[in-house]
Amino acid sequence: MSTLTFANNDEMPALGLGTWKSAPGDVKQAIIHAIEIGYRHLDCAAIYENEQEIGEALAECFDKGMVTRKELWITSKLWNDAHKKEDVRPALEKTLADLKLDYLDLYLIHWPVAFKSGVKFPQKTDGFLPLSAVSLTETWHAMEALKREGLVKHIGMSNFSQKKLQHLIDLGGQKPEMNQIELHPYLQQQELIDFCHANDIHVTAYSPLGSMDRPAVFKKAGEPIPLENETILSIAKANQMTPAQVLIRWQLQRGISVIPKSTNPKRLKENFEALNIELSDAQMTEIAKLDQGKRIIDGSLFVAPDQGYTLENLWDE
Ligand code: A2P
């Protein structure tokens, strides 16, 4: 299986299973199916509100001897309401209790945005905490402590710009080890990927299939659909692959991890088989031409100018 290697030689399977939008009721069976198929990397987050059920699936897989804890790579993410140094450890402990695990392989700061304690999504801007009140440095130091304690093997972030990563690198402590970002042919972010790789930060692609099942709040009329792109369809046809396999394989061949979400047994298997196919250099170049710099998750949910949060300073673009 294709893997990404960390500084201490830990290996993360490059192809993982995304669980954002995997509904309680579906996700348990999906995890069991995925492990049967051969998935060994699961991407979770507290805010997906399904970690308890994922924990039940994991316990069942361990009990039945389908897989051992050591054979799995499990990632989760710190939600925005737990950025204060005293809130970070309890948030991880809740995730570990829900997942029924005693450590995570990777723990990520989900967004470079802080909310007041207990606020999942602020209804008004007073639910935000400005970064002057709880800085990313403070949160990062608390993440470093979790790693030192062995509660998490690796630490990183999601949705961080080059500028924010550089700031944390400049602190001179534990370097960020992973940046998980939105990536698909319409949002390729090659410059940010190059920066991460030059600084030994791995990259994971979220929403690699275009997250068509995303909530309405993330949808805008007329948005293009990567799975229906003509170039993707013609490459799929030429290689006897499916469009989803092309989108997944393209990320793997860029040297990054990719976490397509599915709860459907047939599509779980189809996506996993992207490990065994190959795109030519010419096909990789053709896909590289599709970039439009277009975000699906554009961050507008996290705008609160009176608290210092704008789209400009979220993405630093
Ligand atoms: P489902 O869970 O019913 O399979 P993303 O990973 O970009 O967030 O995209 C997830 C969406 O893509 C879900 O709607 C998921 O539906 C769908 N999906 C997953 N795998 C495939 C596939 N192989 N072909 C088409 N759609 C897929």
Nearest CA to ligand 1 atom 25: 244
Helices 51-63 and 85-99 cross at an angle (nearest 10°) of 50
Residues with CB under 6 Å of ligand 1 are: 18, 207-213, 227, 242, 244, 260-264, 267, 270-271
How many Å lie between the centroid of ligand 1 and the Cα of residue 313? 31
HSE at residue 197, side-chain half, CA atoms within 13 A, is 12
pLDDT of amino acid 219: 86
Tokens of 272: 């996993």
How confident is the prediction along the chain (317 residues), in pLDDT tens digits per residue? 699 999 999 999 999 999 999 998 899 999 999 999 999 999 999 999 999 999 999 999 999 999 999 999 999 999 999 999 999 999 999 999 999 999 999 999 999 999 999 999 999 999 999 999 999 999 999 999 999 999 999 999 999 999 999 999 999 999 999 999 999 999 999 999 999 999 999 999 999 999 999 988 888 888 889 999 999 999 999 999 999 999 999 999 999 999 999 999 999 999 999 999 999 999 999 999 999 999 999 999 999 999 999 999 999 98
Question: 39, 48, 206, 309: which one is catalytic?
Answer: 48
Nearest CA to ligand 1 atom 21: 267
pLDDT of amino acid 60: 98
Amino acid in the structure at residue 280: S
Nearest CA to ligand 1 atom 11: 211
SS3 category, 280:
coil
How many Å lie between the centroid of ligand 1 and the Cα of residue 105? 25
- Mutate which of 186, 248, 250, 262 for ligand 1? The one with the most ligand atoms within 8 Å of its CB, which is 262
pTM here? 0.98
Q: What atom of ligand 1 comes closest to residue 30's alpha carbon?
A: 2
pLDDT of amino acid 24: 86
DSSP string, 71-127: G-EEEEEE-GGG-SHHHHHHHHHHHHHHHT-S-EEEEEE--S-EE-TT-SS-SSGGG
If one counts every other C-beta atom within 10 angstroms of the C-beta of residue 270, the result is 18
- Residue 162's contacts (CB-CB under 8 Å, 6 or more residues apart) are 191, 192, 195, 316
Least Cα distance to 181 among 167, 166, 202, 163 occurs for: 202
Residues 218, 157, 300: CA angle, nearest 5 degrees: 25
What distance in Å separates the CA atoms of residue 1 and residue 38, rounded to the nearest whole number? 10
Least Cα distance to 113 among 134, 91, 140, 142 occurs for: 134
48 among known catalytic residues? yes
pLDDT of amino acid 45: 98
Q: What atom of ligand 1 comes closest to residue 262's alpha carbon?
A: 2
- Mutate which of 31, 183, 242, 267 for ligand 1? The one with the most ligand atoms within 8 Å of its CB, which is 267
pLDDT of amino acid 220: 85
How many Å lie between the centroid of ligand 1 and the Cα of residue 212? 7
- Hey, CA dihedral for 76, 81, 166, 162, is it positive or negative? positive
